[in-house]
Amino acid sequence: MVTIETLLNTGALPDSPTPRLDTELLLAHALGKPRSYLHTWPERELEAAQLVCFQAALARRQSGEPVAYILGQQGFWSLELEVAEHTLIPRPDTELLVETALTLLPAAPASILDLGTGSGAIALALASECPAWQVTGVDRVVEAVALAERNRTRLKLSNSAFVESHWFSALAGQRFQLIVSNPPYIAADDQHLAQGDVRFEPSSALVAGKDGLDDIRLIIEQAPDYLEAGGWLLLEHGFDQAAAVRELLSARGFSAVESRRDLAGHERISLGRFDNE
């Protein structure tokens, strides 16, 4: 029989940027145990079915498939979310979007919109932090809406809801105090699309035209029609797109336009307030 310690020391994922972590996550999943169990009981032997499960998961990871898709879950903010191949995998960088949104409005009743919600990560993080907020998440992919709704139900966040909508198409007549979005922002010819986890993620959640700004342009152009006076628009974008996004916001009439940096020091999000009308 094979022990936990043996499997952890095999080094079977040399092409992964985090081989040890990936192995631990896959092994803990096969055992149905937390990662701490691996270090507490390294001498434990795997049952045959557990070994088969681990080896199957390891083979998927060796082919490049993201760990989040193999496990069917990903942590984001303080939440554990179900994820699937038709949605983007929530990433730590996007937590800056949540963190910033929480500073823009008080914890009083307000209507919030998350455009392109995917797994519901941003919307549910905001709903969990501010029970007085009513958060709506929209996505054009019906499977994504169903996934976000499953996450909402499991997390029991009744102050959130999810709607099938291509950006603002199903929101006629509605207005919000805050609109947030992590839209597609990668250029169609970006070489990173052929590397790492993004190879397995849906291109519709990643690519936005020749310069990566097509969807951001559309959102900035249409958002004022759905914002309350003094409402905020908050966007995640590529590390080298901040200046272009600030220019688009200012040209559309947004004030208090600025960008904020992620933990790596990149200008990762930009925002502005719309005061007109």
Write down the pLDDT at residue 16: 81
Q: CA neighbours within 13 Å on the CB side: how many for 121?
A: 29
Intervals of the chain under pLDDT 50: none
Dihedral sign for Cα 160, 161, 162, 163, please. negative
What would the pLDDT profile of 33-84 be if each residue is shown by its tens digit?
999 999 999 999 999 999 999 999 999 998 888 899 999 999 999 999 999 9
What SS3 class is residue 229? strand
**Same structural domain, 141 and 244:** yes
**Same structural domain, 140 and 56:** no
The answer as to whether 75 is a domain residue is no
The answer as to whether 142 is a domain residue is yes
Short-list 205, 167, 159, 171, CA closest to 186 = 205
The answer as to whether 78 is a domain residue is no
Write down the pLDDT at residue 207: 61
**Same structural domain, 108 and 187:** yes
The answer as to whether 74 is a domain residue is no
**Same structural domain, 49 and 105:** no
Write down the pLDDT at residue 271: 98
Contact (Cβ atoms closer than 8 angstroms) between residue 186 and residue 207: yes
**Same structural domain, 119 and 175:** yes
Write down the pLDDT at residue 80: 95
Write down the pLDDT at residue 86: 82
The answer as to whether 79 is a domain residue is no
**Same structural domain, 182 and 116:** yes
Write down the pLDDT at residue 211: 76
End-of-domain residue from the set 64, 93, 113: 64
Contacts of 120 (CB under 8 A, 6+ apart): 81, 114, 137, 147, 148, 149, 151, 152, 160, 162
Q: Which two tokens stand for residue 194?
A: 């052929």
What range does the domain containing 242 cover?
A: 85-274
The answer as to whether 80 is a domain residue is no
Q: Which two tokens stand for residue 110?
A: 């307000």
Task: For residues 168 and 179, give the distance between their C-alpha atoms in angstroms, rounded to a whole number.
Answer: 11
CATH of the domain at 143: 3.40.50.150
Give the CA dihedral 234, 235, 236, 242, nearest 10 degrees.
Answer: -110
**Same structural domain, 24 and 116:** no
**Same structural domain, 263 and 174:** yes
**Same structural domain, 110 and 9:** no
**Same structural domain, 10 and 125:** no
Q: What is the 3-state secondary structure (H, E, C) of 32-59?
A: CCCHHHHHHCCCCECCHHHHHHHHHHHH
The answer as to whether 115 is a domain residue is yes
**Same structural domain, 20 and 119:** no
Short-list 223, 220, 228, CA closest to 111 = 228
Burial track 114-144 (b if 16+ CB lie within 10 A, e otherwise):
bbbbbbbbbbbbbbbbbeebbbbbbbebeeb
End-of-domain residue from the set 34, 64, 94: 64
The answer as to whether 76 is a domain residue is no
Amino acid letter for position 84: A
Write down the pLDDT at residue 63: 86
pTM of the model: 0.89
Task: Give the total number of structural domains in the chain.
Answer: 2
**Same structural domain, 133 and 258:** yes
